[in-house]
Chains A and B, each alone.
Chain A
């Protein structure tokens, strides 16, 4: 039996107290680690999804809504803009690329996005199976969309009107799956991509087919994703767009910063909660160790009598705190990853942000570090008491 094993035995000599302390400490550490894990994944996801998109142009409305709808496909768009806007944008000398997006339909909650192959280039997406569309009513599925719908190359499906799961089906207009994208961890994973013309075809059929010239003139897209040729574009282009009737520019970098600040407020609440839990855990560990030193004064004094130097007796109390820290860190991290996985599953079911429990962050090292600091702070006085123990008490007659 080593000193560490003895400390372990002492820790579990009062199982209820040990479990309570472990639970408090683990919950505090788990909350702290969860905030780190989720925050980092959201930021990484946002960075991946921005993918060189400098400006999103949509119909007049909230820039945040346009950015959420255009970049992350989380919100409904503000409306449609004329197809001609795309050409106007492409002619701007400071615009390197303008990618059209046409939204409106979905497949079992996964958005059907009419676009051009340039959209895939933005994310450097690769095909896992099949090929890109070459004509209208052909579709390429994102990896998660394919997995969850069970569709494969060669399958056919009809889109539903609207962006939710309960829209009315366009039964007459069927899509054919021609390709499935490799998993990229980006928003593409949960999209169904098709040619712009597919969306027009579906909606012209839905609302009654106008004649060709009228249709051409009336054609719209929902959003345009713009990449700048030069950073200078950030100065003038958004202002120029906003000056055009019916158009609204949204700068994703600014909007996501605003969004993350909003998410940050929630994060701070969780961090505050974690701090309160950790403080409570620290106090609880302090009281438990102090009580343990008092309760085991005889044991500890006996150890001194048996030849243990004061440092060894103090180390025994310190080791008990260390065991607690080790267990709580492992449990806290496991809990945080479990919670992140559960949240990831919940969000995946809603075709929302991509979160995983397998994400590893260097910042997680903060968890055992914080636990260790806490243990040091709460064990310091009990350890000192153990160090300064009066062994001659053993020789006094019982009162």
Chain B
């Protein structure tokens, strides 16, 4: 079982409690998480990433019951299991492309695997840009760097948040294709969070879709 949750609820510090419909991801499939602004999508992503702890229910990600882990263990789990590509790419402006790919190792307190970085740079056609700074890259190039950073520690889950934001149709098709193919090559389960109809249209058939309703409709005080 790659991803599943049951009776999952989260209570905001000074606000309502949100409940999520149960999910059980079919083996070998990815997940397409649909939700407009205010649907609790960010909260669900944070629960899936182990950044927030559920107030109730069970959540299993890549075979690990996150609700049973403490904060330190969730940090460690995230470092080894989860690759994340945020909407704002958050590449470090102070570092070269190559050093940005070293960050996941530094974050986990591990020695940088230079061979792995080189291989990913080659695979994502970034080798010639390895010494450039993020501000010297196009948006497409920067997205590929963020994708490489997400994959560099061979995660079992690849979580991409709004990967098509600010992209035209052609670039959207390119990044979605790349995400799918690289996730397959790396053996990672792809989780895409989006509210972009183009993404739903492109991948709705291939990925299992979960649509989140508006938070106001389900929130309880």
Contact = CB atoms under 8 A, between A and B. Distances in A.
A205 interface: no
B191 to A, nearest CB: 12
B103 A306 contact: yes
Among B86, B107, B108, find the residue whose CB has the most chain A CB atoms closer than 10 A: B107
A13 interface: yes
Interface residues of B, number: 40
Contacts of B95: 6, 9
Nearest to A398: B88
B180 interface: no
Nearest to B108: A307
Interface in B58-110: 72, 75-80, 82, 84, 86-88, 90, 92-95, 99, 102-109
Nearest to A308: B107
Contacts of B103: 6, 302-303, 306
B161 A395 contact: yes
A266 interface: no
A354 B72 CA distance: 60
A303 B162 CA distance: 20
A274 B16 CA distance: 55
B64 to A, nearest CB: 13
A398 B86 CA distance: 11
Nearest to A10: B94
Contacts of B80: 307
Contact of A308 (B37, B51, B108, B162): B108
Contact of A298 (B52, B88, B161): B88
State the majority secondary structure of interface residues on A: helix
Interface residues of A, number: 28
B199 to A, nearest CB: 15
B46 A302 contact: no
Given A308-B108, A395-B161, A397-B37, A13 B94 contact: yes
B75 A309 contact: yes
Interface string A1-43: 1110010011011000000000000000000000000000000
A397 B107 contact: no
A307 B75 contact: yes
A392 interface: yes
B49 interface: yes
A173 B83 CA distance: 94
A305 B49 contact: yes
A305 to B, nearest CB: 5
Contacts of B72: 309
Contacts of B212: none
A158 B80 CA distance: 87
A1 B75 CA distance: 20
A306 B108 contact: yes
A307 B99 contact: no
A10 B95 CA distance: 8
Among A302, A308, A312, A395, find the residue whose CB has the most chain B CB atoms closer than 10 A: A395
A6 B100 CA distance: 10
Among B72, B92, B109, B162, find the residue whose CB has the most chain A CB atoms closer than 10 A: B92
29 contacts: A1-B106, A1-B112, A9-B94, A9-B99, A12-B94, A296-B92, A296-B94, A298-B88, A299-B90, A299-B92, A302-B90, A303-B106, A303-B107, A306-B79, A306-B103, A306-B104, A306-B108, A307-B76, A308-B106, A308-B109, A309-B75, A312-B107, A391-B46, A391-B51, A392-B51, A394-B90, A395-B86, A395-B161, A398-B87
Interface of A: 1-3, 6, 9-10, 12-13, 296, 298-299, 301-309, 312, 391-392, 394-398
Query: Closest 4 interchain pairs by CB?
Result: A307-B79, A13-B94, A308-B107, A298-B90
Given A392-B51, A394-B90, 6 more contacts: A301-B90, A302-B90, A304-B75, A307-B107, A392-B46, A395-B45
